[in-house]
């Protein structure tokens, strides 16, 4: 098998499974582990994979985005820790935005039940998580529902956001890098997130360490726009410091 064909198979498998492991790829493809590592380096150089210890994750782009089923089954313990740590940063906020995605959903689930809040969200997952809370008023943004993320987009959502002033926004991203800021594959999603960044007094990023150093198609914010970046301990102390130099506090939950 030629290197190009092998790399195509690796990329397809990464996108289907959410991750590939060096050892398993070597066995399945009938090549040495070092050959797989070389293939992964080339795919990382092309910007389609992100290398992690023992394997790689796919980078989401304009042509590829994971669905909610995969996100709901990947690194759940880490996402719950991030959600709990982020929920501790209310600091008196009364109006809160919860972004689309599984990690923001865990922020919603971790909000203290005794605090009275108005929560604005584009996410059906977050709205459902908060629907029965007696202390929370939920405002669900209208618009086109994206089945891949179970969240609303387009001008109904951005128009509604344009009439609000929000104390605190919890935002996710498909990638966050020092060079390109916070990015997402879909322009319609980026438009909603950009409007939230403009309308919120305080912004907190929530996302796995695998999002760091990654860039997707559409930028919606700069790292310096955020007061805090809440992630997991998979982000190295050195990388956390490099992001903190740009302004936000980096919290590794």
Long-range contacts of 121-125 (CB under 8 A, 24+ apart): 121/97, 122/151, 122/152, 122/153, 122/157, 122/192, 123/98, 123/99, 123/149, 123/150, 123/151, 124/150, 124/151, 124/152, 125/68, 125/100, 125/150, 125/151
The rounded radius of gyration (Å) of the Cα atoms in the chain is 19
In this prediction, residue 246 has a pLDDT band, given cuts at 50, 70 and 90, of: very high
Residue 154 scores a pLDDT above 60: yes
pTM, 2 dp: 0.83
In this prediction, residue 68 has a pLDDT band, given cuts at 50, 70 and 90, of: low
Mean pLDDT of the chain: 92
What does the pLDDT average to over 165-192?
Answer: 96
Phi, psi of 154 (to 5 degrees): 85, -175
Domains of the chain in start order, with CATH, are: 3-58 (1.10.10.10), 68-252 (3.40.50.1360)
What does the pLDDT average to over 131-155?
Answer: 95
């Amino acid at each position: 098998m030629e290197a190009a064909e092998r790399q195509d198979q690796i990329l397809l498998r990464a996108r289907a499974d959410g991750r590939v492991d060096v050892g398993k790829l070597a066995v399945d493809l009938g090549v040495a582990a070092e050959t797989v590592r070389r293939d992964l380096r080339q795919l990382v150089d092309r910007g389609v994979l992100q290398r992690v210890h023992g394997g790689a994750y796919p980078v989401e782009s304009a042509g590829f985005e994971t669905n909610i089923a995969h996100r709901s089954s990947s690194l759940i313990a880490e996402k719950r820790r991030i959600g709990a740590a982020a929920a501790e940063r209310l600091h008196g906020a009364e109006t809160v935005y919860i972004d689309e995605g599984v990690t923001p959903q865990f922020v919603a689930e971790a909000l203290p039940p005794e605090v009275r809040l108005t929560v604005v969200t584009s996410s059906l997952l977050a709205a459902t998580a908060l629907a029965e809370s007696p202390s929370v008023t939920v405002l669900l943004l209208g618009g086109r529902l994206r089945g891949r993320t179970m969240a609303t987009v387009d001008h109904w959502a951005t128009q509604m956001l344009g009439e609000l002033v929000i104390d605190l926004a919890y935002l996710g991203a498909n990638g966050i890098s020092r060079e390109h800021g916070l990015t997402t594959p879909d322009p319609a999603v980026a438009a909603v997130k950009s409007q939230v960044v403009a309308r919120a007094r305080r912004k907190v990023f929530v996302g796995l360490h695998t999002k760091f150093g990654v860039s997707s198609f559409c930028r919606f914010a700069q790292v310096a726009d955020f007061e805090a970046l809440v992630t997991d301990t998979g982000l190295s102390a050195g990388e956390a410091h490099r992001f903190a130099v740009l302004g936000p506090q980096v919290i590794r939950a």
